[in-house]
Amino acid sequence: MHPIHHAKSRPDRPAIIMATSGEQITYRELDEAANRIARMLHARGLDREDAFAVLMENNLEYLQIVWGSQRAGTMMVPVSTRLTAPEIAYILQDSQTKLLITTPKYAHLLDDIRAECPGLDVLVVGSGGEDDYEAAVAAQDAGELDDPWPGMVMLYSSGTTGRPKGVRPAPPTDPAIDAVAPLMGLAVMGAGMPADGDMVYLSPAPLYHAAPIGWCSTVHRLGGTVVVMEKFTPESALEAIEKYQVTDSQWVPTHFVRMLKLPQDERTRYDLSSHQRAIHAAAPCPIPIKQQMIEWWGPIIVEYYAGSESIGMTMVRSEDWLAHPGTVGKAIYGTIHVCGPDGEELPAGQDGVLYFENDLLPTYHNDPAKTADAMHPKGWMTLGDIGHLDDDGYLFLTDRKSHMIISGGVNIYPQEIENLLVTHDKVMDAAVIGAPDDDLGEKVVAVVQPMDMADAGDGFEQELRDFLAPSLSRIKMPKQFDFRPELPREANGKLYKRELRDEYAAKARNEEREGA
């Protein structure tokens, strides 16, 4: 299905609503905008598979651009708004972007981006000048295209272990097939999303991430309404569910943690009775957090495990999760293989690197070495995660391979420690990393964001040690606790551990030089 069909059958149905401002467009308006945008892209010199980038906050234009690209056959490159100008320029150069669409909010970056990318075509929403996006779109015809062709989305990894990697999907070969999110069709069946067009879907995360683009596109294919939050806050999310009678939503564990930390009167203030399905992923959810969410919202929570690479997916509904606490479900797309260090397959219950076997695999753009590094000799591909299968075929994630700490020769997975820390009443967020240590090689460091920075100090550190002690062996207990008002976490829940590791490594080098 495609929004073009809904524009004909239900033209006045809201396609997009901005949660705070209430701005909205109908399916008819979305259809006309997509046609204009597709023609605008062609008029700017973009042919099929040519790349253009979008650097924008959540706004009314974002998903219109997605569907315009889906008719122009172009490669859309969503760019994280968290990045610096040099990081953005790297992505634009690596993807061979011909056009950048942005907003005045990022005008302070444009001079540096243009200096790094001379000749780059730029359109700015609401600029009012020669580079005005709305004027460029309005100049085009809104009628149906004679030769629409599905486009692609090339997502870049967050660069948690180095330079971001562009995940280049295989190009579409059939104009009838929409390539924005081929994996999501399977997830719709698994999650039980309705196909009658009555769905109202809340998207609380930045649209430049894989899951929001994929799920929002799926909702539009099904004829539902997408309610886009300009920015997530715990209470405004609950308010949006009540205000717009949201039936479906998509979250990350960080959202759950922050909603659960709300005072009880704020949590119970809103009518959530319309809410029928709440989908979540992006990171392993601490068992106590998910148990509390199911107790609060009921058994409407559906978890999945996948990645931007779209090489496979697992899924689990609340009932099965309660019977297998901590699982991310069974495979619904691709075949899972758990492998040891030599590539050998491991039996149920043993942790190893997770690979998906699939007929359709992507490549990392301009980086054959990274593509090769992700491949198993038998042609399977990994997202870099470690976990195990139980005897019933349910998958359990342990951690990212790149996050593993080797302290005194012992492998330590920080996710276990982080999951415990965030259940403490006074902890808002936590990151556990390995920092250089002369004796152990690496020492376990916990970087904690308290609910109130006034709690930070030796007394709180001891409180946390006492809290962790019954559940952690001595080797896993953090050797050092540091407190910060905020952690470097993306709005999609991904923690930038590389920034923390680099910071502590640089500090250790400086101390070594000073002591020499």
Percentage of the chain beyond pLDDT 70 is 94
Instruction: Give the residue-averaged pLDDT of 360-386.
Output: 86
Last residue of one domain, picked from the residues 116, 144, 179: 179
Residue 187 has pLDDT above 70, yes or no: no
- CATH code for the domain in which residue 275 is found: 3.40.50.12780
Answer yes or no: do 44 and 164 share one domain. Answer: yes
Instruction: State mean pLDDT over 493-501.
Output: 80
Are 270 and 393 within one domain?
yes
Looking at the DSSP assignment, which residues form a beta bridge with residue 341?
Answer: none
Between CA 429 and CA 450 the distance in angstroms is: 7
What whole-number distance in Å separates Cα of residue 314 and Cα of residue 190? 9
Task: Give the per-residue pLDDT at 234.
Answer: 94
Question: Does 374 lie in the same domain as 434?
Answer: no
pLDDT-derived band at 299, boundaries 50, 70, 90 = very high
Residue bearing the bigger pLDDT, 164 or 351: 351
For residue 19, name the pLDDT band (cuts at 50, 70, 90). Answer: very high
Tokens of residue 257, six digits: 């943690």
pLDDT at 329 over 50: yes
Q: What is the pLDDT of residue 179?
A: 47
Percent of the chain with pLDDT over 90: 65
Q: Which two tokens stand for residue 43?
A: 């008029």
Residue 298's region, left for phi above 0, alpha for psi from -120 to 50, else beta, is left
174 and 33 fall within a common domain: yes
Does the pLDDT of residue 264 top 90, yes or no? Answer: yes
Select from 140, 163, 179 the last residue of a domain: 179
User: Are 62 and 173 in the same domain?
Assistant: yes
Q: Is residue 16 situated within a structural domain?
A: no
> pLDDT-derived band of residue 509, with 50, 70 and 90 as boundaries?
confident
Give pLDDT tens digits for 164-180: 788 887 777 766 665 44
Q: Mean pLDDT, to the nearest integer, of 336-343?
A: 93
The DSSP string of 241-287 is HHHHT--EEEE-HHHHHHHHTS-HHHHTSS--TT--EEEE-SSPPPH
Q: Is the pLDDT of residue 51 over 50?
A: yes
pLDDT level of residue 516 (50, 70, 90 thresholds): low
Give 72-107 pLDDT, tens digit per residue.
999 999 999 988 899 999 999 999 999 999 999 999
Question: Is residue 123 in a domain?
Answer: yes
The rounded distance, in Å, linking the Cα atoms of 346 and 351 is 8
d(CA 46, CA 149) in angstroms, rounded, equals 13
Mean pLDDT, residues 146-160 taken together: 82
Q: In this predicted model, what pLDDT tens digit does every residue of 129-148 receive, in sequence order?
A: 889 999 999 999 999 999 89
Shared-domain flag, residues 57 and 125: yes
Please name the residues in contact with 22: beta carbons below 8 A apart, sequence gap of 6 or more: none
> Are 383 and 443 in a shared domain?
no
pLDDT above 80: residue 182: no
336 inside domain: yes
| Contact status, residue 315 vs residue 293, Cβ threshold 8 Å | no
Average pLDDT for 191-214? 89
Asked whether residue 188 is assigned to any structural domain, the reply reads no
* Same domain assignment for residues 378 and 272: yes
In the numeric block, the tokens 């997009």 are attached to 16
Tell me what pLDDT residue 473 has.
82
User: Residue 136 falls within a domain, yes or no?
Assistant: yes
For 263, counting Cβ atoms within 10 Å of its Cβ (0-12 exposed, 13-18 middle, 19+ buried), the class is: exposed
Could you tell me if residue 61 is inside a domain?
yes
The reply to whether 119 and 153 lie within a common domain is yes
Is 200 part of a structural domain of the chain?
A: no
What is the CATH number for 434? 3.30.300.30
Domain span including residue 51: 29-179
Measured between alpha carbons, how far is 116 from 119 in angstroms, rounded to an integer?
Answer: 10
In a domain, 331, yes or no: yes
- 173 in the same domain as 39: yes
Residues 171, 36: one domain? yes
Q: Supply the pLDDT for residue 493.
A: 67
Rounded Cα distance, 33 and 264, in Å: 43
Point out the domain boundary residue: 350, 378, 401.
401
Q: Are residues 354 and 411 in the same domain?
A: no
pLDDT tier for residue 158 given thresholds of 50, 70 and 90: low
How far, in Å, CA of 297 to CA of 292, rounded?
Answer: 9
Question: What is the DSSP pairing of strand 427-437 with strand 200-203?
Answer: unpaired
What total of structural domains would you count in the chain?
3
Spatial neighbors of 170 by CB under 8 A, at least 6 apart, are: 360, 362
